[in-house]
Chain A
Amino acid sequence: MSKVDLAQFHKAFYEESLDGLDAMEQALLALDEGAEDPELINVVFRAAHSIKGGAATFGFTDVAAFTHVAENLMDEVRSGRRPMAKAVVELLLRSGDTVRDMLSLSMAGQPAATAESQALLAELSAMVSGHAAAPVVAVAKAAAAAEAIEGWDIAFRPFDYLLKSGNDPARMFRELEALGPLAVTCDASKLPALADMDAESSYLGWTLSLDAGAKRAAVEGVFDWVDGDCDLTVTPRIAAPAPVAEVAAAAAAPVAAAAPRAVRDPAANSESSSVRVGIEKIDTLINLVGELVITQSMLSQFNDGVDASQLEMLRHGLAQLGRHTRELQESVMSIRMLPISTVFNRFPRLVRDLAQKLDKKVVLDMRGETTELDKTVLEKIGDPLVHLVRNAIDHGLEMPDKRVAAGKGDTGTLRLEAFHRGGSIVVEVADNGAGLNREAIVAKAIQRGIITTGEGMSDEAVSDLIFEAGFSTAAATTDLSGRGVGMDVVRRNVMDLGGTVAIRSVQGSGTTFTITLPLTLAIIDGLTAAVGDEIYIVPLVSIIESVQVKPDTVRSVAGGGELFRFRDNWMPIVRLFDVFGCAGQRRAVDEGIVIVVEGEGTRIGLFVDELIGQQQAVVKSLEANYRRVTGISGATILADGSVALIADVTGLVRMQARRKAA
């Protein structure tokens, strides 16, 4: 047994198989829509073929057996023996899902064949015409009886082109010699005159005599690659008349390739343990580290002190160090960034299945798939997006006849778009359906006891009601959205990522959900502000502007709150020293400064003593080091070594809303 441990390749196999299944699904969906590119069929075939090959090699026999039949089905399509009918697409789509499940079971060290996969395998097998499962493991030709054989006489004359195929008679003779003593006689009678000789042609013939009772399969095996490229006779030399025994072929059968399945460490295949990085990103990183080393060596000459003449050089070196550090940081961050297409990819299938189920006509329009997002954000944004897409198709888009009656085309459009805006990533889910129904939402909210009346509420405020916990829309009883997940969960998930969800709806022409996400969770750009002796950091993405408020623009309201007038709007003032219970030095409104921030579409003014400056903060988890604190999203360490807390704007907005409601 070789010392190579196949388990080390399992993860790579698993990941590339998932990629293959994704590509297969996309190709199938394109084929389903009537595309006639033969390359699409090849993509599907290759996916099944590669997974089968890898699964067999790495010991996942159940997966290999399943994909083998799927591959046969695709082979029939590829060779034109079977049309790519809807039923085939449907079956292969389901097969893809099943293989995905089987692979994760295999990776978890569990048996991959389930009742479900067996049932689907039977369906697949039934579809493949005259299905004769070629075994994945080769079966050798039956070997002839060998016991009485004491040697072999071989006549071998290659055709003139044999050498060009890379086969070398001398090598083959060495192989034979490994079976036993070999006598070689060369027949050079066909050798032409030197002038006529082509160095790449073969002119020689040989007679060989092997003095060993080797099996026929072993002897012929030496010549299997040149079968058809030579004249070959292999004759056994029988010693004495002896009874020819029947010998089981089993001894000659090749070693089964199934490697023993290694006991897997469950931690080793946790989903998030690896990230695939483009080589150019690594190159940039290596380059930058090189630059840093150069800068470092340049600066190290100042170890023994600096005299005035060197000041310029020192300043230059420090500037370079600063620049490289920043670039290095960006470069390292970019390693965690992945294109949002990894999340978007699941939607063509989802939209197709949903539309089919609901008898609706939907075109999916995806844009900005190459927009990159932090891997952590990507992993967590999938579920909220799925929910929004389901909702849009289920509740947003109308039935074809209703659309026509409303003067629209019978096919609805669902737009899924990602783009950069400032320091954030924006993901929009937009449909051109009926828009939110104000009356229905108000009625539902009243019924659920969320509000008592809808009168006087702006359309935005009504739309926002669907994010309230306990609010679920009427159609939530359909089997599509009846998953116990409401829009409040969507909003909470997005907020956990430091993002916001906003909703824009126009009755009769559609609804747009806008999710705004931070580029990364690890570093934020923030404004540092002093509150008493403490420093707080307010994320720049949430800041609208900072203003000095005149006392005459401030109104007290019932319940002890304060509002101030900002660009024709009244908004509440939240005094941070109040919220966090620290000693604010400045209490009068005109002594300090108000930072206008926005969270969840609501603006509030944060009152602080003074602004200190702008800086990047590496976010350290407060939860991991202390405990969760409302209104604080984390902590960071300032240049002087002291700790500053990072304000959670959304949390503060919600606190304010609760206080108002109380």
Chain B
Amino acid sequence: MAKILAVDDSASMRSMVAFTLRGAGHDVEEADNGQAALDSAAVHKFDLILADVNMPVMDGITMVREIRTRADYRGIPILMLTTESNPEKKMEGKAAGATGWLVKPFDPDQLLATVNRVLG
């Protein structure tokens, strides 16, 4: 069981991710934008962060850049939930310090497979 932060401004996407991960026995916190994610990460110690790219208040790329400046999150896996129409976002996310990505749309099986890939 891992402690995972799901960040997405879409409540339905967030619920789907959280529900799927909880079903697999993980402990999931949710945040609806990058700033909320940073706040949550300051309180909890996450083993993995899944973050959408386009969000109000603070986008996912900025969030990754910010969170990598924190000593305790330097090597923690962060996956960007990105869309195929934005391949350049993958590279931008990686440059900001993301571990990898999961391309939207994904189904619960693909989500679990990818999460297992980083959690080992």
Contact = CB atoms under 8 A, between A and B. Distances in A.
Interface of A: 1-4, 6, 8-10, 12-13, 16, 42-43, 45-46, 49-50, 52-54, 56-58, 64, 68, 71-72, 134-138, 163-168, 170-171, 174-175, 200, 224-225, 228-229, 254-255, 257, 259
A20 to B, nearest CB: 8
A6 B16 contact: yes
Given A54-B10, A136-B105, A255-B107, A225 B74 contact: no
Contacts of A56: 104-105
B72 interface: no
B117 A2 contact: no
Main secondary structure of the interface of A (DSSP, over half): helix
A16 to B, nearest CB: 5
Interface in B60-80: 68, 74-78
A170 B117 CA distance: 11
B84 A49 contact: no
Interface in B2-17: 9-13, 15-16
B16 A134 contact: no
B86 to A, nearest CB: 9
Return the 8 tightest CB-CB contacts between A and B, nearest first. Answer: A225-B100, A166-B99, A56-B105, A13-B12, A166-B77, A2-B108, A4-B108, A12-B12
B37 interface: no
A643 B69 CA distance: 69
Interface residues of B, number: 41
Nearest to B119: A171
Contacts of A165: 94, 97-99
Nearest to A43: B56
Interface string B75-109: 11110000111000001001001111101111111
Contacts of A136: 84-85, 105
A16 B10 contact: yes
A291 to B, nearest CB: 29
B75 A45 contact: no
B16 A57 contact: yes
A2 B84 contact: no
A200 B74 contact: yes
A166 B20 CA distance: 22
Given A53-B83, A163-B75, 6 more contacts: A6-B108, A10-B12, A46-B56, A50-B9, A68-B85, A166-B99
B42 interface: no
B47 to A, nearest CB: 10
Nearest to B85: A134
A391 to B, nearest CB: 37
Q: Which of A12, A53, A136, A228 has the most CB of B within 10 A?
A: A53
A585 B55 CA distance: 71
Contact of B12 (A45, A54, A163, A168): A54
Given A165-B98, A228-B94, A71 B23 contact: no
Contact of B106 (A9, A43, A57): A57
29 contacts: A2-B112, A3-B23, A4-B16, A9-B16, A42-B56, A50-B9, A53-B105, A54-B12, A57-B13, A57-B107, A64-B105, A72-B85, A135-B84, A136-B105, A137-B84, A137-B105, A138-B103, A163-B75, A164-B74, A164-B75, A165-B94, A166-B75, A166-B98, A167-B100, A168-B120, A174-B120, A225-B99, A229-B94, A257-B106
Contacts of A43: 56
Given A45-B54, A46-B54, A171-B118, A257 B107 contact: yes
B54 A2 contact: no
Given A57-B104, A134-B85, A136-B84, A166 B76 contact: yes
Contacts of A200: 74-75
B8 to A, nearest CB: 9
A42 B15 CA distance: 24
Q: Which of B20, B55, B77, B107 has the most CB of A within 10 A?
A: B107
Contacts of B91: 228
Q: Which of A3, A138, A165 has the most CB of B within 10 A?
A: A165
A62 to B, nearest CB: 14
Contacts of B10: 13, 16, 50, 53-54
Contacts of B15: 9, 12
Nearest to A227: B94
B110 A257 contact: yes
B67 to A, nearest CB: 11
B12 A167 contact: no
Given A2-B107, A2-B112, A257-B107, A171 B19 contact: no
B35 to A, nearest CB: 15
B24 to A, nearest CB: 9
Contacts of A254: 110
A2 B97 contact: no
A338 B70 CA distance: 41
Contacts of B68: 164
Interface in B22-64: 23, 54-56
Contact of B107 (A16, A174, A259): A259
A225 B68 CA distance: 17
